[in-house]
Amino acid sequence: MDGLVFGAQHFRPQRVETADGFESTFAPAYLSGYILGHGLVPLLEAAPAPVIMNIAGPGGLPGTIAWDDLQLRDDYRGRRAAMQASRCIDLLGIHFPQRHPGARTRYVLYNPLFTRTSMADSLPTTQRLVSKAAAVFFAQSVAKAIVPVVELVDTPPYAPVSAFRRRTPIPLTGKDFDPDAARRLDAVTAALLTETTA
């Protein structure tokens, strides 16, 4: 396996759970990358230049992690869930080399910025119309947005972990990329999965 590209996102104004009982923004955006990214390392390591590309929001809108309520059962808001998932993805990438020391697999966190997709379809009518109108004038097409992604997958960066806003590298500093928070999230996620499968 030469590479993995994660980009699953589904914005939901109301809280919904998956069949497994996970909050439905957290599960596809973050948890799928955690399970597949770590689980497929042996296959990736057999490739000549393996890479994991996680399309999310590094360097974008701020968000916080509800450490005591990762599933946002008590205070769910769609935007809050999306921003929390983005911060979790940042920490997932940061912790990858610690989970897999010596691995040749490169981890790329990528923010395409405003792109014309169907993400706004689940918004309330007014917000959906405003978002789609703004996209006509300010968003890039998927065909344009995918070009740097393909380039980074074909020629992964040298660093074990890197982050980009379009083609601009982002320094891996600040709380969004805090190694201690990344270790904490890894442990919390492992415990969450253990509880669910027990």
**Per-residue pLDDT tens over the stretch 101-151:** 999 999 999 888 545 455 555 655 666 555 555 545 445 676 777 778 889
Nearest to 197 by CA among 4, 75, 21, 8: 21
Residue type, 114: F
pLDDT (0 to 100) of residue 137: 43
pTM for the predicted model, two decimal places: 0.87
Nearest to 10 by CA among 88, 87, 81: 81
Say how many CA atoms lie within 13 Å of 115 toward its Cβ.
20
Residues 106 and 52: beta-carbon distance below 8 Å: yes
Domains in the chain, please, with CATH?
Answer: 3-188 (3.40.50.720)
Sign of CA dihedral 139, 141, 147, 150: positive
55 beta partners: 110
Per-residue pLDDT tens over the stretch 57-83: 777 777 899 999 999 999 899 889 989
Structure tokens of 28? Answer: 């596809």
